[in-house]
């Protein structure tokens, strides 16, 4: 995709290994008085307990997801843990055209692709777990995955953490309140800055 220029809003991309706490942090941001619009991703993964269609994700079939890829409705998409995940293009671009800031909570590969497509607008934030042991505890406490799935998520987590230097900011989610404050400060600071100049 040719890089898009001239859009006014910022895209805040938050990535973190699964179970690190990015959903918790992003939900706090959206409840707070930070001017941000969450992009709701589309996925073929089944909903977890408590997840709502249209709020946490749009849950669709693999056939529907492939139809969206073919129709070029997705800004980016990736496969994670055997399921497809993608960002809806129109909803995000409509917000950027209006100068609104958008929050994407997506994986490392997706983050890199969004930055390539929207280099002037993207701000990349990586959320780190305090340790792999604590990440394992959090995955277990969520009670959403089997032991085998948790082992797989931890393996992917190590690969993702190794990419943190590609991000503009790194926040360690040790104590939730402290991590939240850092994340919010970054968003408020970057929200005030103009978009980057074209390269
Ligand atoms: P992610 O969206 O990154 O997969 P979640 O937000 O679902 O992760 O968090 C995974 C689990 O860890 C949840 O049970 C959540 O309540 C817990 N959690 C999140 N942040 C912290 C923190 N700073 N300290 C302790 N537990 C946390
Ligand atoms: P989970 O199943 O734990 O909700 O998400 C698994 C992984 O998929 C996480 O790393 C999450 O950030 C990522 N993800 C969620 N939505 C998207 C998306 O729209 N695009 C991409 N590339 N990754 C996503």
Q: What angle do CA 42, 159, 179 make, to 5 degrees?
A: 75
pLDDT digits (tens, 9 = 90+) for 33-76: 888 999 999 999 999 889 999 999 999 999 999 999 999 999 99
192 C-beta neighbours (distance < 10 Å), count? 7
Phi, psi dihedrals of residue 43, rounded to the nearest 5°:
-145, 155
The Å distance, Cα 82 to ligand 1 centre, comes to: 22
Angstrom distances, CA of residue 164 to CA of 92, 110, 168, 184 = 24, 14, 9, 19
Task: State which of 125, 128, 138, 152 you would mutate to test the pocket of ligand 1, scoring each by most atoms of that ligand within 8 A of its C-beta.
Answer: 138
pLDDT above 80: residue 2: no
The Å distance, Cα 12 to ligand 2 centre, comes to: 15
- Domain coordinates in residue numbering, the chain: 11-192
Mean pLDDT of the chain: 93
pLDDT at 194: 83
Q: Which residues line ligand 1 (CB under 6 A)?
A: 16, 18-24, 138, 141-142, 173, 175-176, 179
pLDDT at 51: 93
Confidence of residue 199 (pLDDT cuts 50, 70, 90): low
Q: Which residues line ligand 2 (CB under 6 A)?
A: 18, 41, 45, 76, 78, 80, 85-87, 105-107, 110
The Å distance, Cα 196 to ligand 1 centre, comes to: 32
pLDDT at 3: 78
Mean pLDDT of 86-104: 95
pLDDT digits (tens, 9 = 90+) for 130-179: 999 999 999 999 887 889 999 999 999 999 999 999 999 999 999 999 99
Closest ligand (CA of 111): 2
Share of the chain above pLDDT 90, in %: 83
pLDDT above 90: residue 83: yes
Atom of ligand 1 nearest to the CA of 105: 2
The Å distance, Cα 21 to ligand 1 centre, comes to: 3
Pick the CATH number of 11-192 from 3.40.50.300, 3.90.1150.10, 2.10.60.10, 3.40.50.150: 3.40.50.300
pLDDT at 197: 74
Closest ligand (CA of 142): 1
Atom of ligand 1 nearest to the CA of 20: 3
Cα atoms found within 13 Å of the Cα of residue 15, Cβ hemisphere only: 27
**Nearest alpha carbon to residue 132 among 106, 161, 109, 107:** 161
The Å distance, Cα 78 to ligand 1 centre, comes to: 22
């Amino acid at each position: 995709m040719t890089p898009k220029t001239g859009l006014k809003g910022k895209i805040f991309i938050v990535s973190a290994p699964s179970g690190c706490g990015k959903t918790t942090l992003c939900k706090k941001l959206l409840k707070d008085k930070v001017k941000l619009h969450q992009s709701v991703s589309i996925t073929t993964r089944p909903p977890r307990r408590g997840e709502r269609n249209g709020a946490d994700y749009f849950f669709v079939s693999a056939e529907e997801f492939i139809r969206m890829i073919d129709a070029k409705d997705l800004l980016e998409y990736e496969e994670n843990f055997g399921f497809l995940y993608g960002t809806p293009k129109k909803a995000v671009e409509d917000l950027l055209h209006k100068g609104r800031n958008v929050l994407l909570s997506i994986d490392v590969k997706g983050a890199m692709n969004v930055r390539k497509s929207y280099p002037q607008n993207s701000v990349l934030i990586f959320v780190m777990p305090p340790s792999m042991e604590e990440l394992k505890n959090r995955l277990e406490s969520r009670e959403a995955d089997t032991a085998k799935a948790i082992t797989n998520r931890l393996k992917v987590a190590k690969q993702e953490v190794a990419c943190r230097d590609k991000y503009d900011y790194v926040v360690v989610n040790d104590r939730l309140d402290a991590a939240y404050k850092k994340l919010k400060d970054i968003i408020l600071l970057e929200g005030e800055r103009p978009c980057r100049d074209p390269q």
